[in-house]
Amino acid sequence: MIIVTGATHGIGRACVEKLAAAGARVVATGRDAEAGRALEEIGPGVTFLPGDVSREEDCRRVIDSALDLGGGQLSGLVNNAGMSKRISFASATQGDWDEVLAVNARSTFLFIRHALEGLRRGRGSVVNIASIAGKTGEEGLAVYCASKAAVIGLTQALALEFGDEVRFNAVCPGQIETRMMDKIMSDALRKKQLELRIPANRFGAPQEVADVVAWLLSDQSTYVNGTVVTVDGGETAGLRTPRIVQV
């Protein structure tokens, strides 16, 4: 049994589709109940449970249900739920900080903390979806960067603490075509500028991240622990020569 949070759209939905296609049983959770019901049409092995990952009681309810369905064991956990706010640090409030950290970092802590015994019994694998923004700063995303850096640090620390029982790895997507990306990247010129700094010359697809997640959950990666895998088309490999932007 594998739990996927933030499963109703984007990378989360792509992960559910990939895992279900491989025959895994998946408990998917998210706040969009309508999209969640559509997830169950992917296959009989997919169960959707609505929930808000920033609420501890919702996290525990999802985990308890997954443990019941999985006979007390979990083979995997994908902490994908996330949010972002493009806001200058000078304008950010404590409320902004608390909201972003609750969804991106605290939920990761809560799901791992409450699922740990089930993961131990299942010799499971945890994949935390961080971001390249957790490895390098980005203007206007200070709060988001801090939240994703926390996810990376937690991943590496837990890999050291539990590596003989449960594997912990992080995936850092770059610019991926998702609903969240659309919300923070509505300006066509800025999007084109971003594309030009990526060696692949395009944004990535959610399925390309899901491929990496599925591999990290599989028996093909049993000696991979504590790694941070970047999926960004080469964006953070170094500096590119500036290109002329035309829109």
Question: Can you list the domains of the chain with their CATH numbers?
Answer: 2-234 (3.40.50.720)
46 neighbors 39 (Cβ within 8 angstroms): yes
Q: SS3 for the chain, per residue?
A: CEEECCCCCHHHHHHHHHHHHCCCCEEEEECCHHHHHHHHHHCCCEEEEECCCCCHHHHHHHHHHHHHHCCCCCCEEEECCCCCCCCCCCCCCHHHHHHHHHHHHHHHHHHHHHHHHHHHHCCCEEEEECCHHHCCCCCCCHHHHHHHHHHHHHHHHHHHHHCCCCEEEEEEECCECCHHHHHHCCCHHHHHHHHHCCCCCCCECHHHHHHHHHHHHCHHHCCCCCCEEEECCCHHHCCCCCCCCCC
Q: In angstroms, what CA-CA distances link 105 with 1, 170, 207? A: 23, 13, 23
Question: Residue 142 and residue 144: Cα distance in Å, rounded?
Answer: 6
> Which residues touch 21 (CB under 8 Å, ≥6 apart)?
43
Alpha-carbon torsion (152, 157, 159, 165), positive or negative = negative
Between 173 and 242, the more confident residue is 173
Q: 48, 111, 144, 162: which is the annotated catalytic residue?
A: 144
Note the pTM of the prediction, 2 decimals. Answer: 0.93
Instruction: At 167, give phi and psi (nearest 5°).
Output: -90, 140
For residue 247, is pLDDT > 60? Answer: no
Span 159-189, pLDDT tens digits: 999 999 999 999 999 999 987 777 666 677 7
Q: What integer pLDDT is reported at residue 181 of this predicted model?
A: 76
Span 197-230, pLDDT tens digits: 899 999 999 999 999 999 999 999 999 999 999 9
Q: What integer pLDDT is reported at residue 245 of this predicted model?
A: 59
Span 66-88, pLDDT tens digits: 999 999 999 999 999 999 988 99
**In whole angstroms, what separates CA 37 from the centre of its chain?**
20
Q: What integer pLDDT is reported at residue 240 of this predicted model?
A: 79
Q: What integer pLDDT is reported at residue 191 of this predicted model?
A: 78
Q: How many percent of the chain have pLDDT more than 70? A: 96
Q: What integer pLDDT is reported at residue 20 of this predicted model?
A: 97
Cross-strand partners of 172: 230
For residue 246, is pLDDT > 80? Answer: no
Q: What integer pLDDT is reported at residue 67 of this predicted model?
A: 98
Q: How many percent of the chain have pLDDT more than 90? A: 84
Span 114-156, pLDDT tens digits: 999 999 999 999 999 999 999 999 889 999 999 999 999 999 9
Annotation marks residue 144 as catalytic: yes
Sheet strand arrangement including 76-79: 46-50, 26-30, 2-4, 76-79, 125-129, 167-173, 228-231
Q: What is the mean pLDDT of residues 43-66?
A: 96
Q: What integer pLDDT is reported at residue 185 of this predicted model?
A: 66
Q: What is the mean pLDDT of residues 96-112?
A: 98
